[in-house]
């Protein structure tokens, strides 16, 4: 049962969603328009593909490719991400030696369940099959993760019957968690059972509130990005962030991209992390090479780049500019393999700011930030960052890991992101920007 206090919050979320004209946004804030109308049309096509596979008219490889191709052109359910198509690709890849077994299993589990118990049995069947592969895999990043089973199957079930089957979205679970009505389940089977019943209860609450039937899609849209809806309430949630010295919380959800990073990077820049941790070069030579690679990556992100670097006196390594939005960043690249910590550089950073901010402002740059790029960061920088953003003209101070910078470039190349959206993401994250932050922003369901 949902507590009365949480019910009040649920109604507030719904009312704000309605007040915002029921707009639905993707993770980048883009308005998705009339997504329900598009889904209805897409379902007609997808149902035909699924039926032909279930009837044996469509081979597994062709079915996988056709689903992938259609969803890339009509990404209405987030299936192109890690728990959808990437999971499907890994399932097929790891089952090459016994494709017939996978075909038999998929025909059993992607068909619409007769009821909730049947659905849970189907989840258990695929979960066991994936777990056998996953547990034996040497590189688990390339194996089908059993934690994707609930989303993967519920996607197909919703194509069969959208009114009956809600999709097990990670983003909705995060919203439920922030509202205090979701706990990490013991299994995919238990998770989907809890989610299904909770979703039904939420729809019932909203139906009584509105006086009309609320669909799975209605509930999904309201909760999908509820914190982005104008006037939305802020819900205090227990922080699960890990510190450098604490172990990663077991409940922390880690997502991986649905592509190989190096597929979208030229070899020259792909070695940035490796260079940053190298012990073969002298510190001076390594630092210089690292600075140049960082500058090159920002150039590929479409910034106007001015490389200063070593030998140029008391200067930062790079100045990057985006004239269209009068935005600039002072960049310092730190090739510290064991992690960068604040100390003797405090005064130098302030000197860089005091020297370059007035020059940039004279050139018409109104928004100026400071970025430190390093493989990792060891100490807490919050006090220093607060001091800088309060007492200088720096609007945003960002600690950007080398890997995060590479993922920004990969997503920019892969998804043809604009520089505006890249900058918006950089300044929208917390003080320390990791690869996981970037992946969650651009690839999570």
* Extended strands (E) in 102-176: none
Comparing C-alpha atoms, which of 170, 158, 178 is closest to residue 40? 158
CB 320 within 8 Å of CB 309: no
Note whether residue 148 is domain-resident: yes
Predicted pLDDT at 256? 63
Note whether residue 388 is domain-resident: yes
192 lies in the same domain as 327: no
Residue written as token pair 């910078």: 405
> How many C-alpha atoms does 284 have within 13 Å on its Cβ side?
2
Q: What residues form DSSP beta bridges with 371?
A: 331, 398
Predicted pLDDT at 237? 34
CB 82 within 8 Å of CB 90: no
Phi-psi region of 229 (alpha: psi -120 to 50; beta: other; left: phi over 0): beta
Predicted pLDDT at 281? 60
278 lies in the same domain as 393: yes
Predicted pLDDT at 324? 93
96 lies in the same domain as 184: yes
**If you compute the radius of gyration of the chain from its CA atoms, what whole number of angstroms results?**
24
Whole-number Å distance between alpha carbons of 434 and 279: 23
CA 69 vs. chain centroid, Å, equals 21
3-class SS of residue 399: strand
Note whether residue 342 is domain-resident: yes
224 lies in the same domain as 275: no
Predicted pLDDT at 233? 33
111 lies in the same domain as 194: yes
Q: What residues form DSSP beta bridges with 67?
A: none
Residue that is last in its domain, among 228, 251, 278? 228
The domain containing residue 18 runs over which residues? 4-228
Predicted pLDDT at 193? 97
218 lies in the same domain as 323: no
* Extended strands (E) in 361-410: 367-374, 396-401
Q: Give the other-Cβ count within 10 Å of 280's Cβ.
A: 7
Q: What residues form DSSP beta bridges with 398?
A: 371
Tallying the residues shown for the chain, one arrives at 445
Whole-number Å distance between alpha carbons of 192 and 211: 27
274 lies in the same domain as 203: no
Q: Where are the alpha helices (DSSP H) in 137-148?
A: none
CA 130 vs. chain centroid, Å, equals 23
Token pair of 358, please? Answer: 């007035």
Comparing C-alpha atoms, which of 79, 87, 91 is closest to residue 49? 79
The reply to whether the predicted model has a pTM over 0.85 is no
CB 320 within 8 Å of CB 305: yes
Q: Which residues contact 246 (CB under 8 A, 6 or more apart)?
A: none
179 lies in the same domain as 281: no
CB 24 within 8 Å of CB 228: no
- Domain at 305, CATH number: 3.40.91.30
213 lies in the same domain as 278: no
Burial of 150 (0-12, 13-18, 19+ CB in 10 A): buried
Q: Give the other-Cβ count within 10 Å of 15's Cβ.
A: 17
332 lies in the same domain as 212: no
Note whether residue 237 is domain-resident: no
Note whether residue 242 is domain-resident: no
Predicted pLDDT at 72? 84
Predicted pLDDT at 206? 96
Note whether residue 206 is domain-resident: yes
Walk along the chain (445 residues) and give the pLDDT tens digit of each residue.
Answer: 789 999 999 999 999 889 888 887 665 556 778 899 999 999 999 999 999 999 999 999 999 999 999 988 888 998 987 789 889 988 998 876 678 999 999 999 999 999 999 999 999 999 999 999 999 888 776 789 999 999 999 999 999 999 999 999 988 888 888 888 998 899 999 999 999 999 999 999 999 999 999 999 999 999 875 654 333 333 333 333 333 333 333 334 455 676 788 888 999 899 999 888 876 665 778 888 999 999 999 999 999 999 986 555 568 999 999 999 999 999 999 988 778 887 657 888 999 999 999 999 999 999 999 999 999 988 778 888 999 999 999 999 999 999 999 999 999 988 788 898 899 888 888 788 999 888 877 765 5
CB 365 within 8 Å of CB 405: no
Residue written as token pair 């922030």: 178
Q: At what angle do helices 60-73 and 35-54 cross, to 10 degrees?
A: 170
335 lies in the same domain as 222: no
361 lies in the same domain as 221: no
Element (H, E) at 333: strand 327-334
Whole-number Å distance between alpha carbons of 196 and 168: 8
CB 74 within 8 Å of CB 38: yes
- How many domains, in total, are found in the chain? 2
């Amino acid at each position: 049962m949902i507590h009365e206090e949480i019910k009040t919050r649920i109604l507030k979320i719904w009312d704000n969603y309605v007040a915002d004209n029921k707009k639905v946004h993707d993770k980048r804030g883009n308005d998705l328009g009339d997504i329900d109308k598009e889904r209805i049309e897409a379902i007609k096509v997808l149902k035909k593909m699924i039926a032909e596979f279930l009837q044996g008219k469509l081979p597994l490889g062709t079915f996988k490719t056709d689903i992938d191709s259609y969803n890339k052109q009509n990404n209405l359910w987030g299936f192109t991400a890690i728990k959808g198509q990437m999971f499907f690709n890994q399932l097929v890849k790891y089952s090459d030696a016994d494709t017939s077994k996978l075909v038999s299993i998929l025909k059993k589990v992607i068909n619409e369940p007769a009821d909730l118990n049947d659905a849970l049995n189907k989840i258990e069947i695929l979960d066991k099959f994936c777990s056998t592969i996953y547990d034996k895999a040497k590189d688990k990043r390339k194996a089908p993760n059993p934690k994707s089973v609930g989303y993967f199957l519920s996607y197909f079930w919703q194509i069969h019957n959208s009114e009956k089957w809600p999709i097990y979205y990670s983003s909705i679970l995060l919203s439920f968690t922030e509202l205090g009505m979701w706990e990490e389940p013991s299994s995919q089977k238990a998770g989907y059972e809890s989610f299904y019943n909770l979703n039904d209860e939420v729809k019932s609450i909203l139906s009584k509130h509105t006086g009309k039937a609320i669909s799975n899609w209605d509930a999904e849209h309201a909760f999908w990005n509820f914190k982005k809806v104008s006037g939305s309430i802020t819900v205090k949630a227990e922080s699960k962030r890990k510190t450098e010295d604490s172990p990663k919380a077991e409940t922390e959800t880690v997502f991986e991209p649905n592509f190989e990073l190096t597929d979208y990077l030229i070899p020259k820049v792909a070695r940035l992390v490796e260079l940053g941790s190298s012990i073969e070069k002298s510190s001076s030579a390594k630092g210089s090479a690292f600075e140049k690679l960082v500058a090159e990556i920002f150039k590929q992100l479409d910034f106007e780049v001015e490389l200063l670097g070593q030998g140029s006196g008391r200067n930062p390594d790079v100045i990057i500019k985006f004239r269209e939005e009068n935005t600039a960043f002072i960049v310092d690249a730190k090739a510290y393999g064991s992690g960068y910590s604040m100390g003797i550089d405090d005064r130098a950073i302030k000197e860089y700011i005091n020297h370059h901010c007035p020059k940039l402002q004279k050139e018409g740059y109104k928004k100026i930030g400071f970025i430190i790029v390093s493989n990792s960061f060891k100490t807490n920088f919050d006090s220093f960052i607060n001091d800088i953003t309060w007492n200088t003209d720096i609007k945003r101070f960002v600690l950007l890991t080398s890997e995060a910078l590479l993922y920004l470039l990969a997503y920019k190349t892969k998804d043809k992101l604009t520089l505006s959206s890249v900058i918006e993401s950089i300044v929208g994250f917390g003080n320390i920007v990791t690869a996981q932050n970037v992946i969650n922003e651009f690839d999570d369901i």
